Structure 1
Amino acid sequence: MRRPLSRLILLLCLALPAVAGGPVSLRAAPPTFSTEELIDGFMKTVFGLEYRSWSWQPYLVKKYTGPVRFYVHNMAARDRRPTVYRFIEQIGAGIRGLSTIIVPTPEEANFHVYVVDRGQYRDVVRRHIYKDPTADVPGRCLVRVVSDRRGISQSAAVIVSDEGDFLFRRCLVEELLQGLGPMNDDDSLVHSVFNDRSRHSRFTTFDRLLLNMLYHPRIQPGMSPAQVEPLLPAIVREIRPLVN
């Protein structure tokens, strides 16, 4: 039986080996994916949750319906803001139907990005994500999403800066993209950052296609898999040439 909750609060965290990787980038040789592969990837990432214990109704669409207003809290010794700003701009340029803005004050933001050193991670997650000083803190980085049938109202990501460029870039890409709505990981998605076994540290062509599918105007917050799946073949045909 479903409990009548008014909103959905989701948390995803990442546990990855620290290995070398390339820079955050939208540019890649565009492989060819079949319509069936893209629909399968969409259904696996948009529906379901990596961490089920945080689920209210995981099998509903979650997305922003207005501008995503980012504020970057750089708490790490190294100032990572220029890299984060560039990736936020790339997200806005790479996803049709999504507007991204970097705002000057935290009060204006609906997506907070905390860049921290590992020694700060536990305290920042407890104070700013859980708001509980005794909470257990999972993962090597994480994102939290607050959503209901009107769409996502708030996201907050915590990214670790000082454990190598690969982990920083991987966390930056995966947590910011998941904070936009595709909340599930799947080990079968070899071309995707939404797979903790993959070593992607960039916004891949496959993931750009999935995000463009999600932010197509025919896909609305709160839609179920049964409502969405019949729409996807036509949406794939429409967005494929725009992304490739």
Structure 2
Amino acid sequence: MALAFCGVVAMAGCVAHPPPEGLSSVRFGAVTLPQGVARSNHDLGQDFLDLTFALESGETLKTILRYETPVRVYMGSPALAPYAPDLAALLKRIRVEAGVDIATTDDPASAQIRIEAVPAAEIARIFPTAACFIVPGETSWADFMRDRDSEQVRWSQQTTLQRAAIFLPPDTTPQDLRDCLNEEVTQALGPANDLYRLPDTIWNDDNFHGMATPFDMLMLRTLYQPEFHSGMTRAEVAARLGKVLDRVNPAGRGLPRTDRAPESKAFATALETALDRGASHERRLGAAQLAAQIAAEMRPVDHRLGVALLTLGRLSLRQDPAAAAQDFSDAYDLFSRQLGPKDVRTAQAGVHLAALAVGTGQYDLAIQLANRHIPVAEKAQNAILIAGLLSVKAEAQSALGQADAARETRLDSLRWARYGFGDTDGALAREQAQLAALQHLEQK
């Protein structure tokens, strides 16, 4: 088929080529999500304190940080102009869902947050594992490079938020840049920590969520309530937090606490090594095994075990496909039980099971799984996941002799794949090759 891309039957050497004009023109529309989180406000209070008074580095903040004035955002780099609608949609969500006075401005001098385009290679030179990042107290890349060894660019040196710079790589995929916008703009407002133990937030470095969630908006809404202001200590915030959360999150009022395993630095280090494309395959595989072991020993076991199993399965697929299939199945079962069938992590495991179903000739099951999880991927605005599910569905339709349906599904998959992967470094081909390996499992 002339318009076919390196589909699910592609092998590792397949190279993705730019599609015909117009096929990559997809864009996620603006949304407003319901407010509130149906979890105990006692638990949410602990989450709030951990997000606003601690950092990934292990540092703690003496006082809470937020803006005490309306927040204006300037994104002047011409290379970022195509993402102006994405920024506008995000800021509208923050205004409506979190109640924060935030908007764009054309005047850089009046902006509290400035967003600047910086090539990915430059960002990697400073922070090799970061796709994008925020610097408090700065306004430009040039100023940051001048000041980066000084104390003033540290979160722990701020007494209030007055300005911040966000650096985004214009030479990445639309999905990556849009995800960066969601994470960095929301964190620039105050919750600077990332926590692997939280399942429903973009402030989690496992990167399953690419858009700000209702949990994130609740944390921002709580932070910007009149009871709080910059300079308050953890004890002062904690003393007011219960009443504030009961007011802004009635869905969590009166719900009992739940047992939760704490954050684990050992798990974080192991998972990050497993996800590091710069590390050797052997080292990554060993780290994934360690992450799974650590997560399995947590009490209670939570979504982190599923994340580790999914990572382990992807890394061991070539060498031990049967073990990988079991890891994918176990991850899917865990996510389904703990997070539900409509969670994005369940859908991520689901695409692997759907590909396995194609590989073992269970075409109807593959289509059923794809249809179950495509709406979840669309709601999560995850183009990569949408493309993967559509790609597997198309292969199953083709195997069942549904040629016309398969052709349309493949074209839809291509549109989302171009948005999610681009074709600059073979990422699309790598992802499709992995799906192919799953679907050819019965040949191994």
Conserved in 2, the CA contact under 8 Å of 1:28 and 1:205? yes
Following superposition, the deviation at residue 61 of structure 1 comes to 0.4
Matches within 5 A, 1:65-214: 65-76=68-79, 79-96=82-99, 98-118=100-120, 121-122=122-123, 136-138=126-128, 139-146=130-137, 148-149=158-159, 151-214=160-223
Q: Does 1:218 align with 2:227?
A: yes
The CA distance in 1 between the partners of 2:65 and 2:35, in whole Å, is 29
Letter aligned with residue 80 of structure 1: Y
Following superposition, the deviation at residue 230 of structure 1 comes to 1.8
Aligned pair count reads 205
Following superposition, the deviation at residue 238 of structure 1 comes to 0.7
Matched with 1:48 is 54
TM-score normalized by the length of structure 2? 0.42
- What are the superposed Cα offsets for residues 46-66 of structure 1, whole Å, 9 maximum, x if unpaired? 1111245xx6x6232000011
- What are the superposed Cα offsets for residues 90-142 of structure 1, whole Å, 9 maximum, x if unpaired? 2122222x2113111211211101245535x44xx9xxxxxxxxx83441100
Moved more, 59-68 or 70-79: 70-79
The CA distance in 2 between the partners of 1:237 and 1:162, in whole Å, is 44
Unaligned ranges ≥5, structure 2: 1-27, 138-156, 253-444
The CA distance in 1 between the partners of 2:47 and 2:207, in whole Å, is 14
The CA distance in 2 between the partners of 1:170 and 1:142, in whole Å, is 12
Indicate how the Cα distance of structure 1 residues 115 and 94 shifts in structure 2: closer, same or farther if over 3 A, else same: farther
Matched with 2:248 is 239
Indicate how the Cα distance of structure 1 residues 187 and 137 shifts in structure 2: closer, same or farther if over 3 A, else same: closer
1:80 alignment partner, SS class: helix
The CA distance in 2 between the partners of 1:42 and 1:220, in whole Å, is 14
The CA distance in 2 between the partners of 1:60 and 1:35, in whole Å, is 21
Moved more, 75-84 or 224-233: 75-84
Letter aligned with residue 36 of structure 1: H
Identity score, percent: 24
Letter aligned with residue 140 of structure 1: A
The CA distance in 1 between the partners of 2:192 and 2:32, in whole Å, is 20
Whose Rg is larger? 2
Indicate how the Cα distance of structure 1 residues 90 and 200 shifts in structure 2: closer, same or farther if over 3 A, else same: same
The CA distance in 1 between the partners of 2:214 and 2:245, in whole Å, is 13
Following superposition, the deviation at residue 166 of structure 1 comes to 3.1
Following superposition, the deviation at residue 163 of structure 1 comes to 2.6
Matched with 1:36 is 42
Indicate how the Cα distance of structure 1 residues 235 and 195 shifts in structure 2: closer, same or farther if over 3 A, else same: same
Matched with 1:10 is none
Following superposition, the deviation at residue 29 of structure 1 comes to 9.0
Following superposition, the deviation at residue 36 of structure 1 comes to 2.1
Conserved in 2, the CA contact under 8 Å of 1:112 and 1:157? yes
The RMSD of aligned alpha carbons is: 2.7
Moved more, 204-213 or 154-163: 154-163
TM-score normalized by the length of structure 1? 0.74
Matched with 1:129 is none
The CA distance in 2 between the partners of 1:78 and 1:109, in whole Å, is 17
The CA distance in 2 between the partners of 1:34 and 1:181, in whole Å, is 22
Following superposition, the deviation at residue 27 of structure 1 comes to 2.1
Letter aligned with residue 142 of structure 1: F
Following superposition, the deviation at residue 26 of structure 1 comes to 4.0
The CA distance in 2 between the partners of 1:242 and 1:109, in whole Å, is 35
2:62 alignment partner, SS class: coil
Following superposition, the deviation at residue 30 of structure 1 comes to 6.0
Greater per-residue strand proportion: 1
Unaligned ranges ≥5, structure 1: 1-21, 126-134
1:112 alignment partner, SS class: strand
2:243 alignment partner, SS class: helix
Where has structure 1 moved over 6 Å in runs of 4 or more? none
Following superposition, the deviation at residue 78 of structure 1 comes to 6.4
